Structure formats: structure tokens, C-alpha cells
């Protein structure tokens, strides 16, 4: 495609400096991606394929020169269909890299997947809104031989799927003490008796005793990957990586060994709060805990990240869920894997000056301070065919508000995260040769000594990556005929170099005037040194 057809003023105007007041539709997403592709030589847009629902799985490659020969960062948005923020953050990051941070594109490449759940994402713009996770595949979730026969129903005709509270002596929920408009699980150990059954809005259409267990949606991208795959659970599928979205993505990632970092905009969070190391789980045959060295690295990066946040953030408690992408990128791909919701509310306190323990409590306290009016659906009584003798009410938090900020806040969040991502990319491993010495010996022989140095605060490999065959070792090679190499190895493979670490090499060679030493791995880049003997 011919690049740079748009002048910069026209390009900036068309890239979204118009007054957009809500998250982008799929059509707007496509238009903005294509404008980046047309307007910048450093951008290359491609569709990896289409989902079951016929939606494109977009990839935007950013970089200069040999794009796939430099350390690369993957940026993934839309890993959950309800996390609209991740899609917009990915879009704005791409634009900011191309317009304000081109220098980083000379050192690192970026592979941006702005929306990995386009089928589910579209539900936000549908007449009936709910926090959808699954794609458009036709799946019999409850395995009763019928497909999507027990989905959500809008009982109060407000265009939203919220919750039902059913007054019942057999209930297992009670109103929150300071937030009676919301419910929490009753605690029988403290003598609490439940007052309400608490279910998603709908009816038991198939009369099997469950509500909405077979919705009109397919497989959730962020629940269908190979790490800790939740077999037999709704939205997971019959086997891992069963959908084209995940297959296209993983094929691309495995075909690009130059990837060093995987950065996810999603509900999981190991940036505001680093992962904890469990020695037993980290040493088992099936590793399910971050390695100790990687925990230390996670803590250091988390400290860097928190400096970009304006206030002490409230952590949502999600540090990975079964079958998700964030954990797969570390445990099965061996890369530095970082994830953030992208939006953190400051910690709120109750009337006793105690910090709230739940995300909903913290959100509602913040919303009150902000004067927000449009985040709750008031409880209204409805007639329910499955509970004819009970009081049934529909209401609660509106879908999407807990995970996505008001749109006018996104620009500042995108700027904060662009600054952090650029800072992180500048720290990708940087190999160089230092302290090179040659010594002339008898009989036309020459001794060569040199150190390979990692001039970076990040190691060349994660601790788990060293154990994984998917992260290639550093190859050090001397360009000399084997018969002229008297001491030392022509090719040496190195497991890793620590942050600011080095390794010394020594060779004795004969009958040569010049030679070249090369060192590198796909995810570290390659350096070379020409030596005149």
C-alpha cells in the first residue's frame, strides 16, 4: 500500500482528534487502523483472518528497518470482550508511537493486536447490552443437545442485563451494610442468614434449575488458552485453542521468536501489584508459580509502573484466571509477561477511615465523589414465572462501568501507559562487545579476548524462559575456518546474560587478517565485531 498519502494535519485530524465521545465501534476501529497504515511508513496493517462471526482479527506491526530482527513487544487489547478500554488504549498507543515516539521504533518493534475478542466486543453496541466474553461460535454450553436455549432476558426492558435479587429464606446473599443497593455472600460462620437469591437477569427457559447457563455466545478468548485450561467450564470450549482467534494469534507469536515482552491490556494485573513466588509450585513438574528471579524482576518493573500512576491504586484482586492469555505468555511462552487493566481508582475509605476491601465498594465510593449518576440501575419489581410467590427485583450496577472509565478519561490514561511502555521498550536487552584485546603470539598465532555485555537492566531471558525451548539461546559465532581455530569454540550457545551481565570469550587463531564475531538471539538482536589481526 502506498504510504504517506495524507498530509500530517489531515492525518491527525482523521486519526481521532475529532470529538469522539465513546469507545470505538468495530467500523471506527478498522478506519483508524487503516489511516495509521496509510499515513506512516513504519506501520503495516494486516488481518490474520476472521472470527466465527466474520470479524477481522487485526494486527498492526510497527517498526523501522528489519522489523522482525529486533527485540519486539506484543501489545494485546480486547482479551475480554467487556474490556473496551484495552482496545482504545491499544489504538492510542499505536498512534502515539508513530507520531511522538518514533525513536523507539528504530530499536524495538511492536506487534499490536488491538482487539482479540471482536465478536464479544460488539455486544456493547447492540440493542441489548451485557458483559459478553464469548465469540459467535454456536456452542452447547450445558451439553444438553440444544444450543443457546437458556440465555439472558431483559425482564425490565431497559436494554441492559443486570442482576436479579429474589427474596427467599433459602437465599445465600445479604445486603451490604453500607451499600444496601448491592448484595454480598452471607457468612454462615458468623451466624448470618441469607435473605436473597442472587442471579443474572433472565428465566430458567429449559427448566433445569439453572439460569442463563447456555447463553447466545461461544468461546471466550481469555478462557481458552493452554495454561491451566478450565476443562468443561462454560465459555472454555472442549479443548484449548479451539477457536481461530487464538490459533491465528499463537501461530503468529511462535513464528516470531524476536518477541521479548508481552504486554496485555486486560483485567489481570501484575503491574500495580507484582506476582508472589511460591517455592513449591515453582519447582513442581508443572510449574504454576512465577520463578523467584522473575518475581524480583516483576517487583522492580512494578515499581517503575507505579511511578506513572497519579495515586495509590486499588488492586482488583485479579492476577490471572484459568486459560487466560497473560499467564500463557509467561508460563507457556516463556516471555516477560505484563498485564494491567489500564484504569486504577485510588483507594477509598469508609466512614471509619478503613480502606474498602472489594472492588465494587471502592468503585461506588469513588463514583459518589465524582458525582456520577448513570452507573446504577434502580431495583424494580418484576413478575417472574420461576418465582411466582417471591418478590423478584432487577437492578444493580450497569454492565461495563466497573471495567471501563468514562471515555473522557481515556486520553490521559493512554498517555501514562505510552510513557511507561516506551520506557520499558528502551530497556530491552542490548548486546555489545567490550574490552576487546588481541595479543600476538609465536608462529603467527593471535589470542583474542572479548566480553559480551548486556547493557540493560533486564536480563536476556526470564528465569522460566531459560527452561523453555521457545526462547532461543544466545549464539556467539566466530567467522573463521575450523582449521585456523586452535583454541576456543567456533560456536557457543549461552543460556542467558543477567541485567548488566557479561561473559568473556577467548580464542587463539592463526593465518588470518580479519575476522568477525557475531552474537545474539532473535529476541535480543544481533551485534557483530570486526577484528583486524
The pLDDT tens digits for 132-154 are 999 999 987 878 788 877 789 99
pLDDT value at residue 20: 74
Q: Quick count: other Cβ atoms within 10 Å of Cβ 333?
A: 26
Rounded to whole angstroms, the Cα distance separating 193 from 172 reads: 7
Which residue ranges does the chain devote to CATH 2.60.40.10?
431-532
The DSSP element (H or E) to which 57 belongs, if any, is: strand 56-62
Instruction: Provide the β-strand partners of residue 529.
Output: 517
Q: Label residue 54 by pLDDT band (50, 70, 90).
A: very high
Complete edge-to-edge strand list for the sheet that includes strand 259-265: 43-50, 56-62, 109-113, 72-76, 259-265, 336-340
Q: Answer yes or no: are the C-beta atoms of 63 and 105 closer than 8 Å.
A: yes
- Residue-wise pLDDT for 198-229, tens only, equals 999 999 888 888 888 888 899 999 999 999 99
pLDDT value at residue 1: 44
- Residue-wise pLDDT for 247-297, tens only, equals 999 999 999 999 999 999 999 999 999 999 999 999 999 999 999 999 999
**DSSP for 497-533, written as a single string:** --TT-EEEEEEEEES-SEEEEEEEETTTEEEEEEEE-
Name the DSSP class of 390. Answer: S
The DSSP element (H or E) to which 263 belongs, if any, is: strand 259-265
Q: Label residue 234 by pLDDT band (50, 70, 90).
A: very high
Name the DSSP class of 466. Answer: H
Note the maximum CA span of the chain: 103
pLDDT value at residue 17: 43
Closest CA to 503 of 513, 512, 492, 514: 492
pLDDT value at residue 21: 87
pLDDT value at residue 213: 84
In sign, the C-alpha dihedral spanning 403, 408, 412, 415 is positive
Judged by DSSP in three states, 125 sits in helix
pLDDT value at residue 211: 83
- Residue position matching grid coordinates 517487583: 299
Rounded to whole angstroms, the Cα distance separating 502 from 288 reads: 30
Rounded to whole angstroms, the Cα distance separating 240 from 247 reads: 10
The C-alpha angle 421, 87, 311, rounded to 5 degrees, equals 55
Whether residue 3 is predicted with pLDDT greater than 70 in this model: the reply is no
**Phi, psi at residue 475, to the nearest 5°?**
-105, 125
Whether residue 58 is predicted with pLDDT greater than 70 in this model: the reply is yes
Mean pLDDT to the nearest integer, 72-88: 98
Q: Label residue 109 by pLDDT band (50, 70, 90).
A: very high
**Phi, psi at residue 190, to the nearest 5°?**
-105, 15
Mean pLDDT to the nearest integer, 88-96: 98
Alpha helices (H) in 373-443, listed in sequence order: 410-426
Whether residue 2 is predicted with pLDDT greater than 70 in this model: the reply is no
Whether residue 481 is predicted with pLDDT greater than 90 in this model: the reply is no
Cell numbers representing residue 507 in the block: 580464542
- Residue-wise pLDDT for 332-382, tens only, equals 999 999 999 999 999 998 887 888 888 988 999 999 999 998 999 999 999
Q: What topology does CATH give the domain 49-124+218-343+404-426?
A: Aminopeptidase (3.40.630)
Q: Label residue 483 by pLDDT band (50, 70, 90).
A: confident
- Residue-wise pLDDT for 378-400, tens only, equals 999 999 999 999 999 999 999 99
Q: What topology does CATH give the domain 431-532?
A: Immunoglobulin-like (2.60.40)
Which residue ranges does the chain devote to CATH 3.40.630.10?
49-124+218-343+404-426
Helix 84-100 vs helix 410-426: crossing angle, to nearest 10 = 60
Closest CA to 333 of 277, 255, 430, 279: 255
Q: Label residue 13 by pLDDT band (50, 70, 90).
A: very low
**Phi, psi at residue 249, to the nearest 5°?**
-65, -50
Q: Answer yes or no: are the C-beta atoms of 15 and 37 closer than 8 Å.
A: no
In sign, the C-alpha dihedral spanning 93, 99, 103, 108 is positive
Whether residue 31 is predicted with pLDDT greater than 90 in this model: the reply is yes
Report the percent of the chain where pLDDT is more than 70: 96
**Phi, psi at residue 327, to the nearest 5°?**
-75, -35
C-alpha 28: how far from chain center: 22
- Residue-wise pLDDT for 439-479, tens only, equals 999 888 999 999 999 999 999 999 999 988 789 999 999 99
**Phi, psi at residue 520, to the nearest 5°?**
160, 170
**Phi, psi at residue 418, to the nearest 5°?**
-65, -45
The answer for residues whose C-beta is within 8 angstroms of residue 395's C-beta and 6 or more apart is 156, 162, 163, 165, 181, 376, 377, 378, 379, 380
Question: 192 vs 170, 171, 209, 288, 358, CA distance in Å?
Answer: 12, 11, 25, 36, 19
- Residue position matching grid coordinates 435473605: 195
pLDDT value at residue 533: 79
Amino acid at each position: 500500500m502506498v504510504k504517506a498519502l495524507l498530509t500530517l494535519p489531515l492525518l491527525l485530524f482523521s486519526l481521532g482528534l475529532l470529538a469522539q465521545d465513546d469507545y470505538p465501534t468495530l467500523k471506527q476501529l478498522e478506519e483508524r487502523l487503516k489511516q495509521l497504515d496509510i499515513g506512516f511508513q513504519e506501520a503495516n496493517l494486516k488481518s490474520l483472518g476472521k472470527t466465527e462471526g466474520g470479524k477481522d482479527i487485526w494486527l498492526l506491526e510497527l517498526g523501522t528497518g528489519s522489523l522482525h530482527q529486533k527485540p519486539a513487544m506484543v501489545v494485546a487489547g480486547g482479551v475480554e470482550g467487556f474490556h473496551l478500554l484495552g482496545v482504545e488504549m491499544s489504538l492510542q498507543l499505536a498512534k502515539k508511537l508513530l507520531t511522538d515516539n518514533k525513536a523507539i521504533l528504530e530499536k524495538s518493534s511492536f506487534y499490536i493486536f488491538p482487539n482479540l475478542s471482536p465478536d464479544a466486543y460488539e455486544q456493547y453496541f447492540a440493542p441489548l447490552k451485557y458483559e459478553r466474553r464469548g465469540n459467535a461460535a454456536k456452542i452447547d454450553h450445558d451439553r444438553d443437545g440444544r444450543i443457546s436455549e437458556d440465555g439472558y432476558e431483559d425482564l425490565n426492558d431497559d436494554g441492559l442485563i443486570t442482576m436479579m435479587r429474589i427474596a427467599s429464606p433459602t437465599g445465600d446473599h445479604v445486603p451490604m451494610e453500607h451499600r444496601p443497593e448491592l448484595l454480598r455472600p452471607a457468612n454462615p460462620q458468623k451466624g448470618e442468614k441469607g435473605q436473597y437469591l442472587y442471579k443474572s437477569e433472565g428465566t430458567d427457559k429449559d427448566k433445569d434449575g439453572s439460569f442463563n447457563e447456555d447463553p447466545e455466545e461461544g468461546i471466550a478468548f481469555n478462557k481458552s488458552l493452554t495454561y491451566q485450561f478450565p476443562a468443561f467450564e462454560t465459555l472454555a470450549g472442549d479443548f484449548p485453542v479451539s477457536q481461530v482467534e487464538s490459533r491465528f494469534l499463537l501461530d503468529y507469536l511462535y513464528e516470531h521468536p524476536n518477541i521479548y515482552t508481552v504486554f496485555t491490556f486486560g483485567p489481570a494485573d501484575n503491574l500495580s501489584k507484582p506476582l508472589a513466588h511460591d517455592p513449591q509450585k515453582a519447582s513442581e513438574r508443572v510449574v504454576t508459580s512465577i520463578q523467584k528471579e522473575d518475581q524480583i524482576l516483576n517487583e522492580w518493573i512494578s515499581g517503575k509502573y507505579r511511578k506513572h500512576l497519579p495515586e495509590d491504586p486499588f488492586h482488583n484482586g485479579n492476577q490471572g484466571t484459568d486459560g487466560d492469555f497473560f499467564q500463557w505468555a509467561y508460563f507457556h511462552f516463556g516471555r516477560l509477561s505484563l498485564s494491567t487493566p489500564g484504569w486504577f481508582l485510588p483507594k477509598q475509605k469508609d466512614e471509619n477511615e478503613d480502606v474498602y476491601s472489594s472492588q465494587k465498594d471502592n468503585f461506588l465510593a469513588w463514583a459518589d465523589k465524582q458525582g456520577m449518576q448513570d452507573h446504577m440501575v434502580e431495583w424494580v419489581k418484576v413478575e417472574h414465572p420461576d418465582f411466582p410467590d417471591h418478590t423478584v427485583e432487577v437492578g444493580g450496577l450497569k454492565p461495563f462501568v466497573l471495567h471501563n472509565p468514562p471515555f473522557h478519561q481515556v486520553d490521559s490514561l493512554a498517555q501514562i501507559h505510552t510513557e511507561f511502555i516506551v520506557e520499558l521498550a528502551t530497556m530491552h536487552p542490548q548486546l555489545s562487545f567490550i574490552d576487546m584485546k588481541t595479543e600476538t603470539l609465536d608462529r603467527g598465532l593471535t589470542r583474542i579476548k572479548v566480553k559480551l555485555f548486556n547493557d540493560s537492566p533486564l536480563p536476556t531471558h526470564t528465569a522460566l524462559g531459560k527452561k523453555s525451548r521457545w526462547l532461543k539461546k544466545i549464539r556467539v559465532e566466530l567467522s573463521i575456518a575450523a582449521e585456523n581455530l586452535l583454541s576456543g569454540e567456533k560456536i557457543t550457545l549461552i543460556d542467558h546474560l543477567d541485567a548488566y551481565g557479561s561473559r568473556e570469550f577467548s580464542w587463539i587463531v592463526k593465518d588470518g587478517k580479519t575476522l568477525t564475531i557475531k552474537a545474539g538471539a532473535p529476541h535480543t538482536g544481533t551485534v557483530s565485531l570486526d577484528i583486524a589481526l
